């Protein structure tokens, strides 16, 4: 499972392949049981083998051995008191993976599934994603195994404050800049920023991104991941004489990424017929009414099946992975990791899907990617396709540094040009290594090269 055409490679390719395999084996040995992290490393490293044939100096300098080991991992207790007065204890994480090209940058995830493997896989992916944006940001990620579902506002606030009381010791505008991810949105960032400011006695706005617009947040940051996903995908479609116009689109999830991907895809003439949450999916053959979804998700913080109360003609199906059984032209998985497995990939391919582009982080399993690529379906890998969010976070950092606020149009224009460049760089890297059209391999190589060059210049650190 190498995602690269082995027949095209010459005899020299053995160096790269052996090196990559050695490091993958070491990662599996050292990170036992951490499946998500092992899979993320395997996916990236298997694309990189040909790079080491061209650059044996990277092997000598142990670039990969250093790259797969986080620079720092922070694990901490998060005690808080719930509304009943009961003491609760969660586990907090921050992985500072790689700072070769800039301060650590990446979101915080609050979800019961969060553990060392998940945070490490996300942090590892973030290194290459952030590099692809062309902006000076290193890779990091964090979070807690806290379940925000059903918690009161006050409970969320107390949790965020307790979490920040430890995290604040390890972050800073030039050191590590967290943001949101699953379970962490504007509300949580607001509570964390307020507490950071209080206990550090400083107004360093650049310490967190995704802030509210009244205290240093950037216009278009909320929309950026979803809009960016569609900009990137449109570019990939255009390169293959296709477009969103008149296409049927299935989008999983109903959070921030899914909502703004739906908006932009619809603006480009597509019909988005389905959205989901962790309980099930809604199907609306007339096209999803986004106002209804936003009211449910952003205002009421409810479940997606409530859509039927406003649109009774829509269907609700229990079980979220079944969403991939809907026939569509374009699939945008925007829910979570591993949501498209081998079986779902086969169904999508069988139903004639033309493109799959990832809004979530690692939503397709390694087995699913192999099926999608072997079938010749256009594939936009997460680290390229969903990089718009973190790119806009870096634009927020710039605005904070300059004490300026750009207009929505200015930020959106920059976002569009970043997403176009990511596609261009990934597709050119794929071409350079004899893998025309393989955006997965191209994104991994393009993202890796900048980090590797920076690491080479900075010595063994
Ligand atoms: N959590 C988002 C991601 O996966 C955004 C991170 C950020 O803005 O720092 O890229």
Q: What is the mean pLDDT of residues 56-77?
A: 98
Check pLDDT > 90 for residue 312.
Answer: yes
Residue of minimum CA distance from atom 9 in ligand 1: 106
Neighbours of 253 (CB within 10 A): 30
Mean pLDDT of 20-34: 97
3-state secondary structure 215-256: HCCCCCHHHHHHHHHHHHHHHHHHCCCCCCCCCEEEEECCCH
Does residue 8 register a pLDDT over 70? no
- Residue 332 CA to residue 229 CA, distance in Å, equals 9
Please say whether the beta carbons of 295 and 285 come within 8 A.
no
Which pLDDT value is given to residue 150?
Answer: 93
CA gap 94, 97 in Å, rounded? 9
> Under a CB-based contact definition with an 8 Å cutoff, are residues 364 and 345 in contact?
yes
CA 12 to ligand 1 centroid distance, Å: 37
With a pLDDT cut of 70, the percent of the chain lying above it is 97
Q: Indicate if 184 and 132 belong to the same structural domain.
A: yes
d(CA 106, CA 16): 29
Kindly state if the Cβ of 383 falls inside 6 Å of ligand 1: no
Band (5; pLDDT cuts 50, 70, 90):
very low
Q: Is there a binding annotation on residue 256?
A: yes
Residue 214 lies in a domain: no
43 and 146: one domain? no
pLDDT of residue 373: 96
For ligand 1, the distance from its centroid to the CA atom of residue 13, given in whole angstroms, is 34
- Does 105 belong to an annotated binding site? yes
271 has binding-site annotation: no
CA 412 – CA 311 distance, rounded (Å): 32
Q: Atom of ligand 1 at shortest distance to CA of 393?
A: 8
**461 band by pLDDT with thresholds 50, 70 and 90:** very high
- Going from the Cα of 166 to the center of ligand 1, the distance in angstroms, rounded, reads 21
- pLDDT tens figures, 393-434: 999 999 999 999 999 999 999 999 999 999 999 999 999 999
Taking the centre of ligand 1 as the mean of its atom positions, its distance from the CA of residue 179, in whole angstroms, is: 6
Query: Are residues 42 and 102 both part of a single domain?
Result: no
Q: Residue 181 sits in which domain range?
A: 72-203
**Ligand 1, from 184, 258, 393, 443: best to mutate by most atoms within 8 Å of Cβ?**
393
Note whether residue 50 is domain-resident.
yes
Hey, what are 165's tokens? Answer: 């009381």
Q: Of the candidates 203, 232, 260, which is a domain's last residue?
A: 203
Domain-located, residue 208: no
pLDDT at 6: 45
**End of a domain among 203, 233, 250?**
203
In a domain, 25, yes or no: yes
Q: What is the model's pLDDT at position 123?
A: 98
Q: Is 361 in the pocket of ligand 1 (CB under 6 A)?
A: yes
Residues 185 and 239 in one domain: no
Q: Are residues 235 and 373 in the same domain?
A: yes
Q: In whole angstroms, what is the distance from residue 52 CA to residue 54 CA? A: 5
Number of compact structural domains in the chain = 3
Give the model's pLDDT for residue 298: 87
CB 129 within 8 A of CB 386: yes
CA of 392 from ligand 1 middle (Å) equals: 9
Q: Which of 225, 335, 390, 443 to mutate to test the pocket of ligand 1 (most atoms within 8 A of CB)?
A: 390
Band of pLDDT at residue 7, cut at 50, 70 and 90: very low
Region of residue 68 (left: phi > 0; alpha: psi -120 to 50; beta: else) = alpha
181 lines ligand 1 (CB under 6 A): yes
Q: Is 179 in the pocket of ligand 1 (CB under 6 A)?
A: yes
Which whole number is the average pLDDT over 338-359? 98
The ligand 1 atom at the shortest distance from the C-alpha of residue 177 is 9
295 closest CA partner among 284, 285, 306: 306
**Do both 58 and 85 map to the same domain?**
no
> CATH no. for residue 130?
3.40.50.10860
Q: Are residues 40 and 105 in the same domain?
A: no
| Percent share of the chain, pLDDT over 90 | 95
Spatial distance between the Cα atoms of 44 and 46, rounded to a whole number of angstroms: 6
Q: Is the pLDDT of residue 14 over 90?
A: no
183 lines ligand 1 (CB under 6 A): no
Query: Does 102 contact ligand 1 (Cβ within 6 A)?
Result: no
Please give the number of the atom of ligand 1 that sits closest to the Cα of 130.
10
pLDDT at 11: 42
Whether 180 is covered by a domain: the verdict is: yes
Same domain for 227 and 137? no
Residues 132 and 45 in one domain: no
Query: What CATH code is carried by the domain that includes residue 356?
Result: 3.40.50.720
Ligand 1 pocket residue status of 336, Cβ below 6 Å = no
Q: Does ligand 1 come within 6 angstroms of the Cβ of 105?
A: yes
Which of these three, 321, 355, 385, is where a domain ends?
Answer: 385
Average pLDDT over residues 240-251: 98
Mean pLDDT of the chain: 96
Residue 434 lies in a domain: no
Residue 400 lies in a domain: no
pLDDT given for residue 12 in this prediction:
46
Q: Is 133 in the pocket of ligand 1 (CB under 6 A)?
A: no
Q: Residues 232, 372: one domain?
A: yes
26: nearest Cα among 72, 83, 66: 66
Q: What is the CA radius of gyration of the chain?
A: 21
**What sign does the dihedral 455-456-457-459 (CA atoms) show?**
positive
> For residue 4, is pLDDT > 70?
no
Is residue 198 part of an annotated ligand binding site?
A: no
The answer, as to whether pTM is greater than 0.85, is yes
* Closest atom of ligand 1 relative to the 209 alpha carbon: 8
Show the tokens assigned to 310. Answer: 């406003």
Q: Looking at the predicted structure, is the pLDDT value of residue 362 above 70?
A: yes
Give the mean pLDDT of 69-85: 98
| Positions marked active-site | 141
Atom 10 of ligand 1, nearest CA residue: 390
* Pocket mutation for ligand 1, best pick of 125, 180, 396 (most atoms within 8 Å of C-beta): 180
Domain annotation covers residue 408: no
Instruction: Give the pLDDT of residue 255.
Output: 94
Task: Decide whether any atom of ligand 1 lies within 6 Å of the 209 Cβ.
Answer: yes
Split at pLDDT 50, 70, 90, the class of 13 is low
80 and 101 together in one domain: yes
Same domain, 277 and 377: yes
* Through-space distance between the first and last CA atoms of the chain, rounded to whole angstroms: 32
């Amino acid at each position: 499972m190498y995602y690269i055409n082995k027949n095209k490679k010459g005899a020299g390719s053995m160096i790269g392949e052996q090196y990559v395999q050695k490091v993958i084996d070491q990662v599996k040995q050292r990170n036992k049981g951490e499946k998500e992290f092992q899979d993320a490393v395997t996916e990236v490293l298997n694309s990189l083998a040909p790079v080491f044939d061209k650059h044996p100096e990277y092997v000598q300098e142990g670039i990969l051995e250093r790259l797969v080991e986080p620079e720092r991992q922070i694990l901490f207790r998060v005690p808080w008191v719930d509304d009943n007065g009961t003491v609760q204890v969660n586990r907090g994480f921050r992985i500072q993976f790689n700072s070769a090209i800039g301060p650590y940058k990446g979101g915080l995830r609050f979800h019961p599934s969060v553990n060392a493997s998940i945070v490490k896989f996300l942090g590892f992916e973030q290194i290459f994603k952030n590099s692809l944006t062309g902006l000076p940001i290193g890779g990091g990620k964090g979070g807690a195994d806290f379940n925000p579902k059903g918690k009161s506002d006050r409970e969320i606030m107390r949790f965020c404050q307790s979490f920040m009381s430890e995290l604040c010791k390890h972050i800073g505008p030039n050191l590590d800049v967290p943001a949101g991810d699953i379970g962490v949105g504007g509300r949580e960032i607001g509570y964390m920023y307020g507490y950071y400011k209080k206990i550090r006695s400083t107004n360093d706005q650049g310490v967190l991104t995704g802030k509210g617009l009244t205290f240093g947040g950037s216009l278009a940051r909320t929309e950026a991941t979803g809009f960016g996903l569609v900009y990137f995908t449109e570019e990939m479609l255009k390169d293959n004489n296709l477009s969103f116009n008149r296409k049927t689109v299935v989008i999983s999830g109903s959070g921030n990424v899914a909502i703004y991907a739906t908006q932009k895809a619809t603006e480009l003439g597509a019909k988005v017929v389905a959205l989901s949450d962790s309980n099930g999916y809604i199907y609306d053959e007339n096209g999803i009414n986004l106002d209804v979804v936003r009211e449910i998700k952003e205002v009421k913080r409810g479940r997606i099946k409530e859509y039927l109360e406003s649109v009774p003609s829509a269907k609700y199906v229990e079980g979220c992975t079944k969403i991939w059984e809907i026939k569509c032209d374009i699939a945008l998985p925007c829910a979570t990791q591993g949501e498209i497995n081998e079986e779902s990939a086969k169904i999508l391919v069988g139903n004639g899907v033309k493109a799959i582009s990832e809004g979530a982080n690692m939503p397709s399993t390694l087995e699913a990617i192999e099926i999608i690529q072997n079938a010749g379906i256009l594939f936009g890998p997460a680290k390229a396709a969903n990089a718009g969010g973190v790119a806009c976070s870096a634009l927020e950092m710039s605005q904070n540094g300059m004490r300026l606020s750009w207009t929505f149009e200015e930020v959106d224009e920059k976002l569009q040009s970043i997403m176009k460049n990511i596609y261009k760089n990934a597709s050119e890297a794929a071409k350079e290594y004899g893998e025309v059209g393989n955006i997965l391999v191209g994104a991994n190589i393009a993202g890796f090269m900048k980090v590797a060059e920076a690491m080479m210049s900075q010595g063994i650190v």
